[in-house]
Amino acid sequence: MTKNTSRVQQGNAPLQKAPRRGFRVATLAAAFSLFALYVAWHEAHGPGAPRNDELPILQARADDASQPANAAPAATAAASDLVKRGEYLARAGDCVACHTADKARPFAGGLAINTPVGTIVTPNITPDPDTGIGQWSDADFLRAMHEGIGKGGARLYPAFPYVEYTKVTDQDVLAIRAYLKTLTPIHYAPPRNSLTFPFNLRWLMVFWNLFNFTEGRFVPDPKQSAEWNRGAYLIEGLAHCEECHTPRNFMQGLKSSSRFSGAVQAGWHAFNITPDKNSGVGNWHDDELVSYLSSGAAPGRANAAGPMAEVVTDSTQYLAREDLGSIVKYLRAVPPISGGEARARDQWGNPANDVAALRGTAINAVNGAQLFVANCATCHNWTGEGVGASAPGAYPSLIHNTAVGASDANNLALVILHGVNRTTKRADVLMPAFGSQLTDDQVAALTNYVTRQFGNPRSAVTVEQVAKLRSQQ
């Protein structure tokens, strides 16, 4: 019995030591867990802690320099791809156009937008923490884009096109956010808005939204092709084409019954882009529309100037050909709207021979033909047929030109006043401004000569209209 007892006791000895060993392992595990929690807390709240509105994927990208070359290559590539996509989408949305007043301060805002109720000044959207959106969370950014509500709950004015941006997916909005975070922070506080009462009360936008805004993401139409849906997503969303090409109702909301039928913005006529053959672009070929969007020029049709030249320079020239094709596909399918024109804008004009008649003739008054020969013929030829044919750097023909054949001469007068400055991958196009050299009556005479000879003879401007156009810029 004694031996057996001894054996049992000896056999049980290891069982008595096992709980002690488990206790030590548990203690070490708990200590390690506490240490890991401390490290995590220190990383989150220490001196080099990231802002709580930064995406982890972007933080990984920012920390690349301090990591070994073989550390998390997938995360690095994903961050890079996200930023590249965001840059592309920001260009599709033409964000830089409105948020840049001084090209030395891109995206820092300060651009004054004149509206019927006062002046709205665009904000700084660089990642500066004090004057920009550096302290915005992703939720703040999504809410602004989708609901028109800024950080802190302030209602945004529809000069910021959240009416269209609401259709953009969360994924694409956050890609834009990722790109904006990579911009150089610029410490600049733009001037305040200057709006008349009661429009300076932001909370009133609640009532405007009731009649003019429907929040919600784009829903593809299963009856349409993938190409059409992509075009719809771009045009109705980021590209926000309706903001310029759709007329406004009395509340300054978009008139949905007249989508893309044309509108006037700061004096410039954004033309009808529905498939109507006379008033719109129904007689344009698909490749001409793509050429216009990618280069600003469609020989024999149109040459982008004013705000549209800026759109081409800053935005549409960077779009992939597949996306441009999708935009054209969608525009072809919108309902055509007639503006009453009996003849397409690009089907007017004949070459001039006035230079012969002017030789040896004494001019005692403001004369449009003389002004044209003196100021325009060097580039556009005295016949009006242009120089350089359809080459990228050509001086365009004034015959078969939509600006000259339009039913109103506003755009032509504005081009004479302010010139053209359009930079694309194909060419730098520069027409000097004559506003400082020609008086209002000279600009009116020159405009009316060009429309009468090379364009729509029923289109004309008065001296008073030129003065108003000059003041609007």
Residues sharing a CB contact under 8 Å with residue 400, sequence separation 6 or more, in sequence order: 300, 301, 346, 347, 348, 349
Asked whether residue 288 is assigned to any structural domain, the reply reads no
Q: Are 168 and 238 in contact (CB under 8 A)?
A: yes
Asked whether residue 250 is assigned to any structural domain, the reply reads no
Mean pLDDT, the chain, whole residue set: 86
- Taking phi over 0 as left and psi of -120 to 50 as alpha, with beta for the rest, 187 belongs to beta
Mind listing the pLDDT tens digit for each residue in 431-471?
999 999 999 999 999 999 999 999 999 999 999 999 999 99
Residue 344, pLDDT above cutoff 70 = yes
Mind listing the pLDDT tens digit for each residue in 358-384?
876 777 789 999 999 999 999 999 999
Q: Are 270 and 245 in contact (CB under 8 A)?
A: yes
Residue 178, pLDDT above cutoff 60 = yes
Asked whether residue 169 is assigned to any structural domain, the reply reads yes
Asked whether residue 129 is assigned to any structural domain, the reply reads yes
What average pLDDT score do residues 43-67 get? 34
Asked whether residue 317 is assigned to any structural domain, the reply reads no
Residue 34, pLDDT above cutoff 50 = no
> Which of 175, 196, 217 is at the close of a domain?
196
> Which of 160, 177, 196 is at the close of a domain?
196
pTM: 0.81
| Total number of domains in the chain | 2
CATH number, domain containing residue 403: 1.10.760.10
Asked whether residue 7 is assigned to any structural domain, the reply reads no
- Which CA distances in Å does 78 have to 51, 58, 172, 173, 183? 20, 9, 14, 16, 18
Mind listing the pLDDT tens digit for each residue in 87-127?
999 999 999 999 999 999 999 999 999 888 899 999 999 99
Long-range contacts, stretch 47-53, CB < 8 angstroms, 24+ apart: 51/129, 51/134, 51/135, 52/137, 53/135, 53/136, 53/137, 53/138, 53/140
Q: 23 or 125: which carries more pLDDT confidence? A: 125
Asked whether residue 293 is assigned to any structural domain, the reply reads no
Residue 36, pLDDT above cutoff 50 = no
Q: Which pLDDT score, from 0 to 100, does residue 76 have?
A: 80
Mind listing the pLDDT tens digit for each residue in 298-307?
999 999 999 9
Asked whether residue 185 is assigned to any structural domain, the reply reads yes
Which residue segment(s) compose the domain that 414 sits in? Answer: 354-472
Mind listing the pLDDT tens digit for each residue in 192-238?
999 999 999 999 999 999 999 999 999 999 999 999 999 999 999 99
- Which CA distances in Å does 197 have to 152, 266, 310? 22, 22, 32
Phi, psi for 115 (deg, rounded to 5): -125, 165
> Which of 178, 196, 214 is at the close of a domain?
196
Q: Which pLDDT score, from 0 to 100, does residue 72 have?
A: 61
Secondary structure E strands in 49-159 = 112-115, 118-121
What average pLDDT score do residues 237-244 get? 96
Residue 425, pLDDT above cutoff 50 = yes
